[in-house]
Amino acid sequence: MNKHIEISRITPHGRMATLSQMEVNQLKEDSESGIYSIYRRCSLAVLNVGSVVDDTKQVLEEYSDFDIRVIQQERGIKLEVENAPARAFVDGEMINGIQEHLFSVLRDIVYARNELESLFKLNIKSQNDITNAVFHILRNANVLQPNVDPNLVVCWGGHSISRVEYDYTKEVGHELGLRGLNICTGCGPGAMKGPMKGATIGHNKQRIYNGRYIGMTEPGIIAAESPNPIVNELVIMPDIEKRLEGFVRTGHGIVVFPGGAGTAEEILYILGVLLNPANKELPFPLILSGPKSSEEYFKHIHHFIEKTLGFEAQQRYKIIIGDPALVAREMKSGMESVKEFRRTNSDAYYYNWILEVDNEFQKPFIPSHENMLQLQINTDMETHHLAANLRRAFSGIVAGNVKEDGIQTIEEHGLFEIRGEKKIMQPLDNLLESFVQQGRMKLPGSKYTPCYKIVT
């Protein structure tokens, strides 16, 4: 077993270093209450940096005796960690970046949750309240920086991509870094790590020493996608929907690299938001890109969007194959359009308040068998509503593939059924089958067992 048996105590970083006695008491009480299991799981994910295991259940079983406790002191708190992965330590001392991330977990899972519950009185359901809650979490994590021109590129893509694809994400990140652009990803490996790694070199060449590499994740998936070592700002949103809204509210443009079901979910989310008539004039650079070897992947995605969401949806993105510099130039140019639009409409550069995000894109989707079966998927729907339900279908598939609760649900009740109009379900089935054939549903070398079946 790869474990560090000795108990380790660490001191706070960042905002958690200055707490009142009342806050300390509340933190200790809450960290040992009903949210302890979430807090423990996210903490273990941070300590398990560098792991290649993408099965949440397997990670939790391997470190079943791991524990973390908030220790109360007169001057504040310490964290006591027991039986943590050895990779989190060097010569018996916990790596500084991992210490910082552990306190980010405490801040987002325990401290921020308390503040939100107090602020919204346990009723975060309305569209405006959810957007304000996302803002509050990001501000609390110091992600929002005023008086800075738009420069944050969100990068999406798979965590188990090929080496050629990974190298390409680094090249794109390098070109973005050379142009002074910062990176935000889902914080894990693969297409989430590559752009950050490339950008660090680009920033260094330009003598930019305050480069930002923001990792934005959520409790249900962090154990399967532990933060990569380059992340220097970690924020854990309460659920996948608030994570996605966090991406599009703070990011000024998005580059999508090859991936699987999770990447398709993200593409459908941003297209659904942009297809809302209220966002028709809003500039938001969206680029799908990969090396020449990934061209087939994007052809399948492009064809699926044509058959389901139509030509208008295809006009909201560009596909660039094998040209990292062009990706960066297009993104830099797009930033100028974003800046001009925000300035003209008196919208903040650091948080896209003017963007309309329907409540159906905000409300957490629980991927139960009943909820998956009841999804409305047909051509009579408005395009952005169809995108919302297709996004939920992919969210269920991701849960069944890698999330602890989803895996357990499939084991207990069998495959999810996804029903809908044949005109849509056939392209959906074809796309998912192409992911399986290309090995994009699990880590390379492991046989994929579907957690779903398509029914027309």
**362-390 residue pLDDT tens:** 999 998 999 999 999 999 999 999 999 99
- Distance separating alpha carbons of residues 426 and 438, to the nearest angstrom: 18
What pLDDT does 38 receive?
A: 85
Neighbours of 118 (CB within 10 A): 9
Q: Which two tokens stand for residue 62?
A: 């391997």
Residue 350 within a domain: no
- List, for residues 19-76, the tens digit of each pLDDT value: 667 767 777 776 677 778 888 888 998 998 766 665 667 777 788 888 888 887 766 7
- Distance separating alpha carbons of residues 435 and 453, to the nearest angstrom: 14
Q: Which of 123, 147, 167 is the last residue of a domain?
A: 123
- List, for residues 232-247, the tens digit of each pLDDT value: 999 999 999 999 999 9
- For residues 80 and 7, the answer to whether their CB atoms sit within 8 Å is yes
- Distance separating alpha carbons of residues 397 and 415, to the nearest angstrom: 10
- List, for residues 258-302, the tens digit of each pLDDT value: 999 899 999 999 999 999 999 999 999 999 999 999 999 999 999
- What CATH number corresponds to the domain at position 231? 3.40.50.450
203 and 119 fall within a common domain: no
What pLDDT does 1 receive?
A: 44
Residue 129 within a domain: no
Q: What share of the chain is helix, strand, coil (3-state, %, to 5)?
A: 50, 15, 35
152 and 72 fall within a common domain: no
What pLDDT does 230 receive?
A: 95
- List, for residues 326-356, the tens digit of each pLDDT value: 999 999 999 999 999 999 999 999 999 999 9
156 and 255 fall within a common domain: yes
Return phi, psi of residue 214, to 5°: -90, 130
340 and 364 fall within a common domain: no
Q: Number of structural domains, the chain?
A: 3
Q: Please state the rounded mean pLDDT for residues 190-211.
A: 97
Of the candidates 45, 40, 67, which has an alpha carbon nearest to the alpha carbon of residue 56? 45
Q: Please state the rounded mean pLDDT for residues 207-226.
A: 90
382 and 430 fall within a common domain: yes
3-state DSSP assignment of residue 4: strand
What letter does residue 84 receive in the DSSP assignment? B
Q: Which two tokens stand for residue 143?
A: 């992600």
Q: Please state the rounded mean pLDDT for residues 104-112.
A: 83
Of the candidates 325, 286, 287, which has an alpha carbon nearest to the alpha carbon of residue 175? 325
379 and 330 fall within a common domain: no
3-state DSSP assignment of residue 81: strand
Domain extent for 448: 360-455
What pLDDT does 119 receive?
A: 66
Residue-wise DSSP of 180-218: T-EEEE-SSSGGGTHHHHHHHHHHHHTT--S--EEEEE-
266 and 394 fall within a common domain: no
399 and 339 fall within a common domain: no
237 and 384 fall within a common domain: no
3-state DSSP assignment of residue 2: coil
- For residues 266 and 218, the answer to whether their CB atoms sit within 8 Å is no
Residue 302 within a domain: yes
- Distance separating alpha carbons of residues 287 and 348, to the nearest angstrom: 23
Residue 401: pLDDT band (50, 70, 90) is confident
202 and 332 fall within a common domain: yes
Q: Is the pLDDT of residue 433 over 80?
A: yes
What pLDDT does 246 receive?
A: 97
Q: Which residues lie below 8 Å from residue 137, measured CB to CB, with a gap of 6+?
A: 108, 112, 116, 235, 237, 238, 242, 246
Mean pLDDT score across all residues of the chain: 89
Residue 60 within a domain: yes
- Name the amino acid, one letter, at 274: L
Q: Which of 312, 344, 376 is the last residue of a domain?
A: 344
What pLDDT does 3 receive?
A: 57
3-state DSSP assignment of residue 254: strand
Query: Of the given ranges (77-81, 96-100, 124-128, 159-163), which has the lowest mean pLDDT?
Result: 124-128
263 and 410 fall within a common domain: no
State percent of the chain over pLDDT 70: 91
Residue-wise DSSP of 386-446: HHHHHHHHHHHHHHHHH-HHHHHHHHHH--EEEE--HHHHHHHHHHHHHHHHTT-SS-TTS
- Name the amino acid, one letter, at 84: A
Q: Is the pLDDT of residue 135 over 80?
A: yes
Q: Which of 286, 316, 344 is the last residue of a domain?
A: 344
Residue 287 within a domain: yes
What letter does residue 363 receive in the DSSP assignment? S
Residue 317 within a domain: yes
Residue 354 within a domain: no
Tell me the helices (H) and strands (E) count for the chain, helix number first: 17, 14
- For residues 143 and 350, the answer to whether their CB atoms sit within 8 Å is no
- For residues 286 and 398, the answer to whether their CB atoms sit within 8 Å is no
Pairing of strands 253-256, 8-10: unpaired
Residue 420 within a domain: yes
Give helix 240-250 / helix 261-274 axis angle, nearest 10°: 60
- What CATH number corresponds to the domain at position 45? 3.30.1850.10
Query: Of the given ranges (186-195, 329-338, 444-453), which has the lowest mean pLDDT?
Result: 444-453
27 and 155 fall within a common domain: no
